[in-house]
Structure 1
Amino acid sequence: MRINLIPSIEYIKEEEMEGKNVVVIDVLRATSVITTALYNGASEVVTAVEIDEALKYKDENTLLGGERRALKIDGFDFSNSPIEYSREAVFGKRIVLTTTNGTKAINKSMRAEKIFIGCMMNGKAAAKKIIEYDKDAFIVCAGTYGKFSLDDFICAGKIINDAVEEKDVQIDDFAAAALLSYRDNRDDVISYVKNAYHYKYLISIGLEDDIKYCFREDVFDVVPEYRNGSIRL
């Protein structure tokens, strides 16, 4: 099998995903939110590209989460901070999520056979999941406003590292670069991510705790999967 890395949503060619498996990454913060919410007992996560689309889902069992420019959307229950999605807040609830980057990346991956949600916190489990199915896979980095982002890149490198340690797989050059970046910086990933534009912006609006939360490795053994219109465990 072969693992290919897509460095941002602008590089997605949807027809190439036919029959392949995909892991979508938006480590800061959408895929970290999705993984956290489902681990904490949310019944499902529905992704919406636009705010108006998300608002249509609102009912007594549905909570709205998301951001624009990393800030909470007026009238929503949550921002895009995974720390907010505690078991007490989300257990048994449907979450509808709309974000600047991550939900768009998921939407553009719909032609894949299977879509998994990856982040640092479930990286090893995500790697095992794509190895388990033993077919060519794409790792899709959401990026930041359509552009390459170091934070997603090193997260992809972590998942690729865990995959190649599990099985002898082929990887493309982008994947190899991400793998080497992770291996060179695995002892202090945060120092690497400090060079990212998105990191600096989140710090500027007071979200350092979110960054620390999202870059914990392998604290969850669950891999959310998109199927039949929503993301579930």
Structure 2
Amino acid sequence: MKIDIIISADDIKKEKILHKSVIVVDMLRATSVIITAINNGCREVIPVLTIEEALEIYHKNKEKYVMGGERKALKIEGFHCSNSPLEYSRQIVENKTLVITTSNGTRAIKGSVMAKNILMGALINADEVANRSISLNNDVVIVNAGTCGQLSIDDFICSGYIINCIIKKIKVDLTDIAKTALYIYEQNPDIITFIKKASHYKRIKKLKLYDDLEYCCRKDIIKIVPEYIDGIIKCT
């Protein structure tokens, strides 16, 4: 198995992901939301790029759908939930379909459609997504959502931890950027402390999203791996 990393949704190129298994990582917070929602009984998740798309789907059947997401880390007006995984309780999402749009995460998912498989990854399910990627027996590209087209420290160190989980089980061939992510994780196992160095953390601090940060930095607390297939994310 070869493992590579793409540092942001803006850097996805067809030739880098074609025929490969992609793990999309937006740990703060879109993939953490998706994994949590499905773990709490959400039937499926539909990621879309625009607010207008989300509203169009919702208005087809308001009883079926829950709308979630953010713009500039803030809840979208008229939506049920923001981009906080803590809002997606079983009471809110059980037996519902979540329609989600975010600034970076849903772009990373939709941008990866040429891949053979598209798995949702975060710290909260890292070991399980490592197991799933190994079972697929394919080369892997970890697609970081990033922030506004730039590398995001949180996604990058999360990628390092996923690689750490994989290399404990099988031998792999890492690209230089994958080796760098692994090294950064190995030197900074206290992920919350390291993330405080990120520019993204300033936004977290300003919005007082400390509970989200603590939750999203918990390792391996969920044992499912949602997969994007034909426009829908669910556990296969």
Same fold (TM over 0.5): yes
- Tell me which residue corresponds to 2:83: 80
- Tell me which residue corresponds to 1:224: 226
The two structures have a TM-score, normalised by structure 2, of 0.97
- Tell me which residue corresponds to 1:12: 12
Quote the sequence identity (%): 47
Listed one character per residue, the Cα deviations across residues 16-44 of structure 1 (whole Å, up to 9, x for unaligned) are: 31111000000000000000000000000
Is the 1:22–1:112 contact (alpha carbons within 8 Å) kept by the matching residues of 2?
yes
- Tell me which residue corresponds to 1:163: 166
In the aligned structure 2, how far is the partner of 1:157 from the partner of 1:195?
16
**Matched residue SS, 1:135:** coil
AA aligned to 1:107 is K
In the aligned structure 2, how far is the partner of 1:28 from the partner of 1:199?
10
- Tell me which residue corresponds to 1:121: 124
List gaps (5 residues or longer) in structure 2.
Answer: none
Aligned length: 232
Are residue 194 (structure 1) and residue 196 (structure 2) matched? yes
- Tell me which residue corresponds to 1:48: 48
| Match among 60, 63, 68 for residue 65 of structure 1 | 68
Give the superposed CA RMSD.
0.7
- Tell me which residue corresponds to 1:174: 177
- Tell me which residue corresponds to 1:23: 23
Alpha-carbon deviation of 1:45? 0.4
| Match among 124, 137, 145 for residue 140 of structure 2 | 137
Alpha-carbon deviation of 1:135? 1.1
In the aligned structure 1, how far is the partner of 2:15 from the partner of 2:174?
20
**Matched residue SS, 2:188:** helix
**Matched residue SS, 2:138:** coil
Is the 1:72–1:80 contact (alpha carbons within 8 Å) kept by the matching residues of 2?
yes
Alpha-carbon deviation of 1:171? 0.7
**Matched residue SS, 2:184:** helix
Is the 1:7–1:174 contact (alpha carbons within 8 Å) kept by the matching residues of 2?
no
In the aligned structure 2, how far is the partner of 1:17 from the partner of 1:157?
19
Alpha-carbon deviation of 1:228? 2.2
Is the 1:43–1:94 contact (alpha carbons within 8 Å) kept by the matching residues of 2?
yes
- Tell me which residue corresponds to 1:152: 155
